[in-house]
């Protein structure tokens, strides 16, 4: 039959619609079977309770019916343990769950930020939906989600000197679906299928940012091995410090989502010394004190690093499709240019003072100094944790923003876990 025949074209259109509807039907069947299974469990429990309505039996049945899956994270959001039963139910591997945006959503929207002054913090229960895998249709009548009630605790391990998140997950899909909570649940509105696709796209963009930054860091590593090791630690320090600043309410950034801002500062902090690749190698690796002329050359790494970023900004400005990325690019520009400014106005290159210094640069200034004291550098010996902490404390309101120093002091026990070479001891 000719493809130009109108009947043939109508046939192809009908066939395509039929295949799409068949796929939707199969997905609905899967959702229906899962919900029906939950309904049967609920009904069975109700009938047993009705027959044997005693307090003891109710308690036993509740323990039997509740599906609790424990997840454990450390304070760096690293997944240490997850139930195989939970993974099987949501049809994901551990690796898939680790790479998913669900962990980001948990930490950014639901889990409390660690308060280092409290050894143990209870995590109040909240409802959290996870989309059924490969469910792609918007116009279904049943929400294709698993619903979990999550609760637990944050606890400090004195032996390991780390904070851990201990989470229990109870599958409450049957209760949620049977009571139609999804119709008014704001969580569902934020995790619609369309929004989930957006989150996946944002996760991809996030990975691309990390890749580009790591490529840049690898170039720095080729030039100076010591600087590369310094950059890796800077990101760890900055991540802990920005989280504490958020908990204390110190971050107030206009036209930027606070969680996106924190992520970008954490990733980009490693670019603060990118300008050093323009510094002559004999100066960069000099073990003795700089001469005034050499010090002036070394200080230019701030302006030269910012100049690299400015070239990218200028390119972006030429294309209106990329204008939204200018906010993102302002972070590396400010960090490169201003991370050696001082709170008292005695820094360089511009001698900015107090809040005139961009917040991201004030954060990196503390992180950079702490690591410079703790790390073994070509021009200085490494010093112990307590000495580095004391130096930062003494510079509160002088070199550093006093509020950021307070945040730093709150997390100094976590910073003590970052690995450094054994400090040199004077004879």
Mean pLDDT of all residues in the chain?
79
Higher pLDDT, 137 or 236: 236
CATH of 197-415 among 1.20.120.420, 3.50.50.60, 1.10.3430.10, 1.10.3210.10: 1.10.3210.10
Task: Report pLDDT digits (tens) over 337-370.
Answer: 999 999 999 999 999 999 999 999 999 999 999 9
Query: What is residue 378's predicted lDDT score, i.e. its pLDDT?
Result: 64
Q: Which of 238, 256, 246 is nearest to 327 (CA)?
A: 256
Q: How confident is the model at residue 412 (pLDDT cuts 50, 70, 90)?
A: very high
pTM to 2 decimals?
0.70
User: What are the domain boundaries of the chain?
Assistant: 1-64, 66-191, 197-415
Query: What is residue 328's predicted lDDT score, i.e. its pLDDT?
Result: 81
Q: How confident is the model at residue 294 (pLDDT cuts 50, 70, 90)?
A: very high
Helix, strand, coil content of the chain in percent (nearest 5)? 60, 10, 30
Tell me which range, 108-112, 134-138, 316-320, is most confidently predicted by mean pLDDT: 108-112
Is residue 45 predicted with pLDDT exceeding 80?
no
The residues with which 72 forms a beta bridge, in sequence order, are: 81, 166
> Which residues touch 145 (CB under 8 Å, ≥6 apart)?
129, 130, 131, 132, 173, 182, 188, 191
Higher pLDDT, 185 or 161: 161
Where helices occur in 275-379 by DSSP H, the ranges are 281-284, 292-299, 301-317, 326-338, 359-374
- Backbone dihedral angles phi then psi of residue 306, each to the nearest 5 degrees: -65, -30
Q: 66-191: which CATH topology?
A: Beta-Lactamase (3.30.450)
């Amino acid at each position: 039959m000719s493809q130009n025949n109108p009947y043939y074209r109508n046939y192809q259109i009908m066939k395509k619609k039929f295949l799409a509807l068949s796929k939707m039907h199969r997905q609905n069947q899967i959702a229906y079977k899962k919900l029906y299974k939950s309904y049967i469990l609920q009904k069975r429990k109700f009938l047993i309770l009705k027959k044997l309505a005693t307090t003891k039996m109710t308690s036993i049945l509740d323990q039997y019916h509740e599906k609790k899956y424990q997840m454990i994270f450390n304070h760096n959001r690293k997944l240490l343990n997850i139930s195989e039963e939970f993974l099987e139910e949501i049809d994901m591997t551990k690796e898939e769950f680790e790479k998913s945006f669900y962990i980001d959503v948990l930490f950014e929207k639901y889990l409390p930020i660690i308060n280092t002054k409290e050894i143990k913090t209870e995590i109040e229960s909240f409802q959290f939906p996870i989309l059924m895998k490969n469910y792609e249709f918007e116009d279904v009548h049943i929400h294709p989600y698993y619903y979990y009630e999550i609760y637990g605790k944050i606890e400090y391990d004195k032996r390991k000197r780390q904070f851990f998140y201990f989470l229990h997950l109870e599958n409450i899909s049957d209760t949620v679906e049977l009571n139609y909570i999804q119709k008014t649940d704001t969580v569902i509105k934020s995790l619609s299928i369309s929004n989930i696709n957006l989150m996946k796209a944002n996760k991809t963009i996030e990975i691309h940012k990390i890749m580009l930054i790591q490529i840049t860091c690898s170039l720095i590593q080729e030039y100076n091995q010591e600087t590369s090791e310094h950059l890796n630690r800077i990101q760890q320090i900055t991540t802990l410090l920005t989280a504490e600043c958020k908990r204390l309410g110190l971050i107030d950034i206009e036209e930027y989502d606070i969680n996106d801002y924190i992520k970008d500062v954490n990733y980009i902090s490693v670019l603060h010394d990118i300008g050093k690749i323009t510094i002559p190698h004999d100066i960069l690796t000099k073990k003795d004190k700089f001469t005034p002329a050499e010090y002036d050359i070394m200080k230019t790494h701030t302006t030269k690093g910012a100049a690299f970023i400015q070239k990218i900004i200028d390119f972006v400005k030429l294309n209106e499709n990329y204008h939204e990325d200018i906010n993102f690019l302002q972070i590396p520009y400010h960090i490169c240019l201003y991370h050696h400014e001082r709170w008292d106005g005695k820094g360089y290159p511009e001698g900015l003072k107090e809040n005139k210094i961009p917040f991201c640069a004030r954060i990196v200034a503390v992180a950079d100094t702490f690591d410079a004291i703790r790390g073994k550098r070509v021009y200085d010996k490494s010093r112990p944790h307590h000495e580095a902490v004391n130096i930062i404390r003494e510079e509160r309101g002088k070199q550093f923003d006093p509020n950021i120093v307070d945040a730093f002091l709150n997390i100094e026990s976590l910073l003590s876990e970052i690995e450094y070479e054994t400090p040199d001891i004077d004879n």
